[in-house]
Chain A
Amino acid sequence: MKLTLNIWRQASTASAGEMKTYQVEASPDMSFLEMLDVLNEELNEKGEEPVAFDSDCREGICGMCGLMINGEPHGPERTTTCQLHMRSFADGDTITIEPWRSTAFPVLKDLCVDRGAFDRIIQSGGYISVNTGAAPDAHATPVPKDNADRAFDAATCIGCGACVAACPNGSATLFLGAKVTHLGELPQGQAERWSRVVDMVGQHDHEGFGGCTNIGECVAACPKEIPLDVISQLNSDLRTAIRKGH
């Protein structure tokens, strides 16, 4: 299949970028990233600078490979970019590929952005403190099934940033909600529950993400299908934290 690609090219964070057009010949069996690999091999042969894009596991679990494809994070399928295949496109299609657009995710080069803001949000409270020493037995603390399920569903968030990329407000609230719900549902997460939510929201705001207006574009873009419920949980936890004096 012959494709026309409009790709954002930007040499570095400080330099200005622009869209450039490329032609590439791909097979429908290729993954989206393999198609970009083909393009880069051709660019290398021609002595041009290859397109920089992020990827790591290429099996949908690490969250590195976020690209804005035709105006949708991770493209038209509800999955990560690496799990998107060229059979989702038609011969002769024009595909526009852009990096995540967020002040908090500065573009490093071409399609690569720095998602360090997410790491700093996690560092601000997305953890539980445990004593060192012998690990307790896994079944030492009972967790009700419903809570365990909800915590696990929220924990599937891979921090890819698609929610931020999709959000018209550039908000990372779905990410925040997933982390706060994941730890808040578990007995081990209770000790730091109220300071966690306030510290994480504070870091989120400090990084320059926008506020949530409950539009729901984040949920439509999330490759892990994190539901809007987690944002309600986040709001509820923050309200409780304020009441408790945080």
Chain B
Amino acid sequence: MKGTRGVRTTIALKILMAVSGLLFLAFVALHMYGNLKAFAGHDAYNEYAHHLRTFAEPMLPFGGLLFVTRVVLVLSLVVHVGCAVALWRRAQAARTVPYVVKKHTGATYASRLMRWGGVTILLFIVWHLLNFTIGKVNVSGGPTSDPYDLVVDSFQVWWLTLIYLAAMLMLGAHLHHGIWSALQTLGLTPHARSRRLAKQAAFTIALVISVGFSLVPVFVLAGVIDK
């Protein structure tokens, strides 16, 4: 259509989703690294948590890095969810009469889980922030002032660990398709070889991150990480 602006197309929405998604990826990778500090014990874990707040002092104020990170993440969330909703509505409008029979040849299960999986992850994040950041809920009734103890108290509760493991399964699936999809959307996979590499990289990173996050809850429940 003559007079179309490139930034007003569906592909521009996809590019925004890809970039915001890759910012999330960088965040979850660092977050997972920090969580693994739980294997180093009570003091190392809490010191890491405190250091996140004193990072780059005195150039940044106390908690400065976290503040900037949170602003970037909230903005990314608004962009990512906003574009997802716009594209979801478009997709629904693009086929109003469903097929009586429809096979999904060529689609991975993860790729078909993106939208509802994304909603699930969003609900999980709300609970997760209530659990550990904003509300600080200790489901076993203990104190919430000590980060390490709160982690151990939380994951000693089997159903909470189960919720987290389910969420990590969803995150893994979301990353499995999402990372490859982001690379494709950014136009970085213009031949068969780069496409294969992107898919392999996406699967590997998704596996490392979802398993890496799952280690702490599982090892707490198993009693290996203890107070």
Contact = CB atoms under 8 A, between A and B. Distances in A.
Contacts of A236: 186-188, 190
B91 interface: yes
Contacts of B101: 68, 70-71, 96, 98
Interface string A197-222: 01101111110111111111111110
B184 A232 contact: yes
B222 interface: no
A100 to B, nearest CB: 10
A242 interface: yes
A182 to B, nearest CB: 14
A101 B95 contact: yes
A229 B183 CA distance: 12
A19 B100 contact: yes
Interface in A216-238: 216-221, 227-229, 231-238
A50 interface: no
B182 to A, nearest CB: 9
A103 B185 contact: no
A72 B100 CA distance: 11
A188 interface: no
Nearest to A120: B1
B189 A202 contact: no
Given A211-B87, A246-B5, A235 B185 contact: yes
Closest 3 CB pairs of A and B: A236-B187, A202-B4, A220-B106
A171 B189 contact: no
Contacts of B9: 198, 201-202, 205, 238
Interface residues of B, number: 51
A227 to B, nearest CB: 7
Interface stretch (A23-31, A51-59, A127-135, A162-170): A162-170
Contacts, number: 174
Interface of B: 1-15, 87, 90-91, 93-108, 111-112, 114, 177, 180-181, 184-192, 194-195
Contacts of A205: 4, 9-10
Interface band, chain A? 35 or more
Contacts of B94: 102-104, 169-171, 208-210
B106 A233 contact: no
A40 interface: no
Interface in A107-159: 124
Specify which of B1, B87, B90 lies most central, judged by the most chain A CB atoms within 10 Å of its CB.
B1
B6 A246 contact: yes
B90 A229 contact: no
Given A104-B94, A221-B106, A211 B2 contact: no
Given A71-B99, A221-B106, A235-B187, A242 B1 contact: no
Interface of A: 6, 8, 19, 68, 70-72, 96, 98, 101-104, 124, 166, 168-171, 198-199, 201-206, 208-221, 227-229, 231-239, 241-242, 246
B22 to A, nearest CB: 14
B12 A242 contact: yes
Contact of A235 (B90, B95, B177, B184): B184
A215 B107 contact: yes
A166 B14 CA distance: 20
A246 B108 CA distance: 35
Given A168-B107, A237-B187, A210 B90 contact: yes
Contacts of B12: 238, 242
B186 A214 contact: no
Nearest to B2: A199
Given A104-B94, A212-B11, A212-B185, 11 more contacts: A68-B99, A68-B102, A101-B99, A170-B91, A204-B10, A205-B4, A211-B11, A217-B106, A238-B187, A239-B15, A246-B6
